[in-house]
């Protein structure tokens, strides 16, 4: 798949360098990384799309993220908890449920949360035939909310699968995605036998800079107040993904082996 560098102009503009040519850009970033929105990015291959794994561990800020959204009740409950603690979060919602639970997602946007791409049908991005689910998600988002794409465009790979394929990164770069968002800590809430206690326990090692993965599940809603209270007790502050500061650790996708890395298997 060919990359279209013209599509990356918006990134250069956001860097305050709207007139910077790609050649200048590369010269400015000899190490192959750049800063945007408080994150540092690795360029992936020849493109600017990147992996985000975590934020700065010297910070006290943590980003909670929630995925999927198959059922209404846990969405509502998790929104209630986040509202109670005045925490804004980042959601990677499957496209199929955007319309189904439109009122809840609209409430989420109204309350300052962000909704990002998790593909339309949650099909694995390890298969090229499923790449179209990325665009189908965008169509659903624009249609349901009568607004443009999320800005910036971020995606979480269903199940964490496919990140070691160059084809998917080329595809994402062509559609102006600036990053695939992974995670540094999982509540393992989709694991068989997971309980509110196990989810809280899996979050016990939470530290500054973490991107925490959980899902819209009843047991996660049960655990969430405890996870938040535990974090606050440790002096942590919960922020949206894009407000996670500092110089995070990034890995280019070639170093990620989702099928071998238990932490990356259940996005």
**CA-to-CA distance for 161 and 2, rounded, in angstroms?**
22
From the CB of 266, what's the least distance to Zn ion, in Å? 8
Angle at 241 between CA 197 and CA 62, to 5 degrees: 45
| Binding segment (CB under 5 A) for Zn ion, from list 44-52, 60-68, 195-203, 243-251 | 60-68
The DSSP letter of residue 43 is P
Q: Nearer to Zn ion by C-beta: 33 or 124?
A: 124
**Contacts with Zn ion, 66-105, as mask; x by CB under 5 A:** -xx-------------------------------------
Q: How far apart are CB 20 and Zn ion at their closest, in Å?
A: 36
Shortest Å distance, C-beta 8 to Zn ion: 27
Stretch that binds Zn ion, among 18-26, 42-50, 61-69, 99-107 (CB under 5 A): 61-69
Smallest distance from Zn ion to CB 158, Å: 5
Closest distance of CB 4 from Zn ion, Å: 28
For Zn ion, give the closer residue by CB, 81 or 94. Answer: 94
Nearest CA to 2 among 130, 206, 169? 169
Residue 158 or 253 with smaller CB distance to Zn ion: 158
Residue nearest to Zn ion (CB): 67
- Strands 179-181 and 237-238, sheet pairing: unpaired
The alpha carbon of residue 6 and the mean position of all alpha carbons in its chain are separated, in whole angstroms, by 24
Minimum CB–partner distance for residue 256 and Zn ion (Å): 16
Residue 47 or 136 with smaller CB distance to Zn ion: 136
- Distance in Å, CB of 118 to Zn ion, minimum: 6
Tell me the chain's radius of gyration from C-alpha atoms: 18
- The answer to whether 51 and 250 have CB atoms below 8 angstroms apart is yes
185 forms beta bridges with 212
Cα 35 from Cα 41, distance rounded (Å): 6
- The C-alpha atoms of residue 221 and residue 106 are separated, in whole angstroms, by 19
Q: Which two tokens stand for residue 179?
A: 């990053």
Site for Zn ion in 228-267 (CB under 5 A): none
Judged by CB under 5 A, the chain residues 133 through 192 that form the site for Zn ion are 158
Burial of 227 (0-12, 13-18, 19+ CB in 10 A): buried
Q: How many residues bind Zn ion (CB under 5 A)?
A: 3
**Alpha helices by DSSP H, 85-217:** 96-100, 102-110, 132-145, 166-174, 196-202
**Binding residues for Zn ion (CB under 5 A):** 67-68, 158
């Amino acid at each position: 798949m060919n990359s279209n560098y013209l599509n990356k102009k918006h990134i250069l503009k956001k860097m305050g360098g709207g007139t910077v040519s790609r050649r200048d850009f590369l010269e400015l970033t000899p190490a192959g990384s750049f800063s945007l929105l408080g994150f540092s990015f690795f360029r992936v291959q020849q493109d600017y799309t990147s992996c985000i794994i975590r934020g700065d561990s010297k910070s006290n800020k943590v980003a909670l993220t929630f995925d999927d959204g198959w059922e209404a009740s846990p969405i509502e409950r998790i929104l209630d908890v986040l509202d109670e603690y005045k925490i804004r979060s980042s959601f990677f919602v499957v496209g199929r449920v955007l319309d189904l639970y439109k009122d809840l997602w609209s409430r989420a946007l109204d309350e300052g949360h962000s909704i990002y791409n998790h593909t339309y049908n949650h099909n694995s991005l390890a298969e090229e035939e499923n790449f179209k689910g990325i665009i189908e998600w965008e169509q659903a988002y624009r249609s349901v909310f009568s607004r443009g794409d999320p800005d910036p465009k971020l995606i979480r790979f269903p199940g964490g699968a496919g990140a070691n394929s160059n084809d998917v990164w080329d595809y994402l770069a062509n559609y102006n995605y600036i990053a695939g968002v992974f995670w540094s800590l999982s509540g393992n809430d989709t694991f068989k036998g997971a309980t509110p206690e196990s989810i809280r326990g899996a979050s016990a090692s939470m530290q500054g800079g973490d991107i925490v993965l959980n899902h819209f599940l009843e047991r996660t809603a049960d655990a969430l107040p405890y996870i938040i209270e535990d974090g606050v007790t440790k002096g942590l502050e919960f922020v949206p993904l894009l407000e996670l500061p500092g110089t995070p650790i990034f890995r280019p996708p070639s170093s990620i082996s989702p099928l071998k890395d238990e932490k990356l298997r259940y996005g």
